[in-house]
């Protein structure tokens, strides 16, 4: 059977530059959520976020590139380059991979509103002559995909997935399937998000999933997945990418094999009258179970679950029901974590960051705790990892849950590279 493996990761997140910074932050179980200072958040219900402040695009990219593009593209291009470098790959060089055999899959939710808001203000205030000619190509969600391809010289398949907070999961799934179909030899898959501009933030507020947190609140305590005091999501900016290859391709070039993408499944459970997901979690649970089936393992072989953990009470409840349905009799024995609480939910990049952390979990045999989970809500009787990281020497399989508004569900299983046979 053809197998898909991870050979590189790259990330720029509120935790810092690089996957190691993300891993250390997750492992600490301490939040780096802070009060927003990119714009005045005073009139918003949620005034805290994860900010990737360590990333200043001018140190990474030429000025003539950054002037044409939004920060969500800057984050994506640099994170994708990091992943490619981590995989020891170059595109188009004599000893590199052929440009038309590299594919790019990008998840994103909001687009490039920091750039767009400025230009739309100029349109209405000063007229069309004052609008940047780059507005049209800077704003739209496929801008990062296009710019990654241009900058890295990639000529293969490229797609952008806009499916709310599951966008990066869909990018990873499509990346794996692209490899299985032989349509590429290398796939750079992940996501990017930059929600820290006044209109984008308002969209997040209108979406109804943000945790209320005003100037008097403790930013680091605002995001509390599965906790009795959970009140919603705290969003962060960032980008994460994984390099995927077929196992034999990675072996042939002597690449480091970090993990296997062993299983995946997607489905939808959009639910009316509220445009959200089913409260009973059965459809989401079915996606999780199908991903296990694809990986060829049973629930009792899972070493850990990385839950979506949105912190939205009804979503937490549905996810717990879905997890219990999938885990069955193993519900007491499989540790559950939700790493986003340490740095913020990266929306269209979230699952790629989770997957990058899962790779580290498999490498180091440690499970990061859920930040701010001190007392699980009633009925949330799973084996949550709280307080400090848990040692898990025999960790072989990690299931990652991803879901978004409108009932977009995805489930991935990452397995230890020692399992690749």
Partner 1 sequence: MVMRDRLLEILQKLKFEPQDITDGTNLRQDLGIDSTEFAEIAVAIERELHLVINDEELQLAKTFGDLVLYVASAPTVA
Task: Return the residue of 1, 42, 43, 64 that touches partner 1, per CB under 8 A.
Answer: 64
130 binds partner 1 (CB under 8 A): yes
Only one residue has tokens 């594919």, namely 103
Decide if residue 127 touches partner 1 (CB under 8 A).
no
In whole angstroms, give the CA distance from residue 286 to residue 269: 11
**Those residues with Cβ within 8 angstroms of residue 33's Cβ, 6 or more apart along the chain or in another chain:** 14, 48, 49, 50, 219, 220, 222, 223, 234, 236, 343, 344
Cβ 154 to partner 1 shortest distance, Å = 19
137/213 with CB nearer partner 1: 137
- Between strands 16-17 and 4-13, the pairing is antiparallel
Examine residue 252 and tell whether it contacts partner 1 (CB under 8 A).
no
Nearer to partner 1 (CB atom), residue 37 or residue 130: 130
Pick the binder of partner 1 from 28, 90, 132, 267 (CB under 8 A). Answer: 132
Is residue 254 classed exposed, middle or buried when 0-12, 13-18 and 19+ CB atoms within 10 A define those classes? exposed
**Cβ(275)–Cβ(30) under 8 Å?**
no
Region for 344 from its dihedrals, namely left if φ exceeds 0, alpha if ψ lies in -120 to 50, beta otherwise: left
94/133 with CB nearer partner 1: 133
For partner 1, give the closer residue by CB, 129 or 329.
129
User: Which DSSP symbol is given to 311?
Assistant: -
Among 28, 34, 39, 66, binds partner 1 (CB under 8 A): 66
| Region binding partner 1 by CB under 8 A among candidate stretches 64-72, 170-178, 329-337, 362-370 | 64-72
Give 135 or 291: the residue with its C-beta nearer to partner 1: 135
Q: How many residues bind partner 1 (CB under 8 A)?
A: 12
Q: Which residues, at least 6 apart from 324, have a Cβ–Cβ distance to it below 8 Å?
A: 285, 331, 382
Nearer of residues 130 and 381 to partner 1, judged by Cβ? 130
Selected binder of partner 1 within 45, 56, 62, 85 (CB under 8 A): 62
Among 1, 42, 43, 63, which residue sits at the site for partner 1 (rule: CB under 8 A)?
Answer: 63
Structure token digits, residue 286: 């079915």
Least Å distance, CB 217 to partner 1, is 40
Beta-bridge mates of residue 411: 265, 401
Using the minimum distance from each CB to partner 1, give the nearer residue, 56 or 130: 130
Give the three-state DSSP class for 267: strand
CB of 127 to partner 1, least distance (A): 11
Backbone Cα Rg of the chain: 20
Of 132-140, 146-154, 310-318, 396-404, the segment contacting partner 1 by CB under 8 A is 132-140
Listed residue (203, 410, 229, 188) closest to 319, CA to CA: 410
Given candidates 94, 133, 329, 378, which one binds partner 1 under the rule CB under 8 A? 133
Q: How many Cβ atoms are within 10 Å of 371's Cβ, its own excluded?
A: 29
* Residue entry with tokens 């990058």: 356
Which one of 126-134, 199-207, 272-280, 381-389 is the stretch in contact with partner 1 (CB under 8 A)?
126-134
List interacting residues with partner 1 (CB under 8 A): 62-64, 66-68, 129-130, 132-134, 137
């Amino acid at each position: 059977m053809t197998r898909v493996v991870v050979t590189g990761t790259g990330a720029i997140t509120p935790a810092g530059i690089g996957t190691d910074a993300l891993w250390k932050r997750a492992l600490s179980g301490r939040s780096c959520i802070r009060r927003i200072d990119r714009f005045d958040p005073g009139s918003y219900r949620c005034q805290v976020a994860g900010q990737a402040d360590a990333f200043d695009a001018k140190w990474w990219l030429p000025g003539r590139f950054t002037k044409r593009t939004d920060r969500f593209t800057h984050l994506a291009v640099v994170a994708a380059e990091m992943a490619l470098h981590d995989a020891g790959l170059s595109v188009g060089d004599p000893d590199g991979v052929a440009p038309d055999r590299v594919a790019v899959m990008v998840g994103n939710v909001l687009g490039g509103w920091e750039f767009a808001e400025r230009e739309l203000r100029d349109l209405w205030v000063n007229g069309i002559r004052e609008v940047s000619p780059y507005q049209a190509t800077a704003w739209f969600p496929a801008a990062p995909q296009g710019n990654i391809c241009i900058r890295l010289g990639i000529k293969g398949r490229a797609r952008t997935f806009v499916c709310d907070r599951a966008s990066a999961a869909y990018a990873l799934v499509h990346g794996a399937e692209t490899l299985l179909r032989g349509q590429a030899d290398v796939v750079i898959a992940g996501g990017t998000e930059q929600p820290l501009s006044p209109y984008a933030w308002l969209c997040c507020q209108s979406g109804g999933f943000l945790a209320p947190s005003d100037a008097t609140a403790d930013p680091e305590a605002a995001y509390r997945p599965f906790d009795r005091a959970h009140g919603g999501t705290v969003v962060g900016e960032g980008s994460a990418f994984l390099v995927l290859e077929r196992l034999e391709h990675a072996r042939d070039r002597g690449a480091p094999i970090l993990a296997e993408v062993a299983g995946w499944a997607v489905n939808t459970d959009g639910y009316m009258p509220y445009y959200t997901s089913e409260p009973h979690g059965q459809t989401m649970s079915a996606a999780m179970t199908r991903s296990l089936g694809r990986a060829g393992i049973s629930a009792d072989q899972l070493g850990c679950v990385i839950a979506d953990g949105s912190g939205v009470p009804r979503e937490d409840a549905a996810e717990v029901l879905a997890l219990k349905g999938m885990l069955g009799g193993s519900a007491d024995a499989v540790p559950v974590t939700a790493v986003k609480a340490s740095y913020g939910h990266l929306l269209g990049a979230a699952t790629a960051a989770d997957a990058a952390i899962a790779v580290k979990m498999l490498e180091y045999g440690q499970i990061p705790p859920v930040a701010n989970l001190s007392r699980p809500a009633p009925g949330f009787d799973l084996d949550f990892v709280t307080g400090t990281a848990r040692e898990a020497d025999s960790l072989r399989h990690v299931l990652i849950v991803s879901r978004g508004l409108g009932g977009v569900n995805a489930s991935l299983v990452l397995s230890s590279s020692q399992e690749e046979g």
